Structure 1
Amino acid sequence: MKEDGYRVKRYSEPVKRYCQTLDLKENPELIERYKYLHSSEASWKEIRAGIRQVGILEMEIYIIGSRLFMIVETPLDFNWDEAMEKLATLPRQQEWEGVVAEFQKCEPGATSSEKWRLMERMFYLYE
C-alpha cells in the first residue's frame, strides 16, 4: 500500500540514482493496459534482462494519473549515454518501444532515452 511506503534495496557499495519522467496519454483504459504490460506476469523477460545487461541495478516506475516517474539506481562508474545507446540495440528493445509508444506522449519511433526525460535534483536532505 502506497501509504506504507516502499522498501529500498541496500547495496554493499555506494550507488547513484537517475530520475526521469514521462507522460502517458490521458486515457484510463490505456493507462491500465500500460500498467499491466509492466507487471511481473506480462513484462518481457528480454527487456528486464537488457536493463540488467547495461549495468542498471534497480529500476522503479511510479504513477499518478498519467504522469510516470522512474528511479534508476546504478554503480558509481555507470555511464548513462553509453548504457542507453547499448540498450537501444538489445533484443526486442525496439519492438518494446513500439508497443509502449501507443500509450506514451512521444514522437513516433522515439527510443527510451528520447521519451524519458532526465530530471534535475533541486533538493535533498542528506548530510
Structure 2
Amino acid sequence: MNNRFVLALDLKDDELLIEQYVDYHRPGSVWAEVIESIEESGIEVMEIYLVENRLVMVMEANESFSFSDKQAGKNDDIVKAWEVLMSRFQQTLPSSKKGEKWVVMEKIFDLKAHVANKDKQ
C-alpha cells in the first residue's frame, strides 16, 4: 500500500517567475537526475498543482520512502543545483519553520470515511 502525502509551498507572486517555474516543470524539462532521485527515493506518483502563486504537491510513495532519507539524498550535486535553481521562484509559507520548504498538509476530509460511517448508522 502506498502512502499519500499532500504538501504546499508558495511561489513568489510574480507572473514572469511563475511562468518560468511552470516551464521548468513541463514534461522533458525537469533534469533527468532529479527524476531519477525522486523515483529512487520510493516516490511513485508526484503531481504539482498551481493556483495563483500557491503550489500543492500530491505524492504517493512506497513503504521504503522517508522524508529524512529524501532530504539526505539532496547531497547529490545535480539535485542540489536543481533545488538552488527552484528556490529562485519559491517562497515559504508564512507558518513554515526555519529551513522548511514544502509543508505537509493535514487531511481534514475523506469521502470514503464519511460513506463508511453512514453505512454503520
- Kindly provide the amino acid, as one letter, of the partner of residue 125 in structure 1: L
Deviation at 1:15, TM superposition (A): 1.2
Secondary structure at 2:43 match in 1: coil
Of residues 41-50 and 58-67 in structure 1, the stretch that sits farther from structure 2 once superposed is 41-50
State the alpha-carbon separation in 2 of the partners of residues 15 and 32 from structure 1: 32
Cα displacement (A) at 1:74: 0.8
| Aligned counterpart in structure 1 of residue 100 of structure 2, from 92, 99, 114 | 114
- The CA deviation at 1:41 is 2.8
Q: In the TM superposition, what whole-angstrom CA distance separates every residue of 1:24-54 from its partner, at most 9, and x where no partner exists? A: 0111111000000011132111100100011
Mark the runs of 5 or more structure 1 residues left unpaired by the alignment: 1-13, 107-112
In structure 1, give the amino acid aligned to 2:45: E
Residue ranges of structure 2 left out of the alignment (5+ in a row):
93-98, 117-121
Tell me the TM-score normalized by structure 1: 0.77
Please give the root-mean-square deviation of Cα atoms over the aligned residues, in Å: 1.6
Counterpart CA distance in 2 for 1:89 and 1:17 is: 25
Provide the residue aligned with 2:22 in structure 1: 35
TM-aligned CA deviation for residue 91 of structure 1: 4.2
**Higher Rg:** 2
More helix by share: 2
Per-residue CA deviation, residues 41-91 of structure 1 (Å, 9 max, x unaligned), is: 3211110010001111111000001000001101135323223322x1234
**Percent identical across equivalent pairs?**
33
Q: In the alignment, what sits opposite 2:75?
A: 89
Aligned length: 107
TM superposition shift of 1:125:
1.2
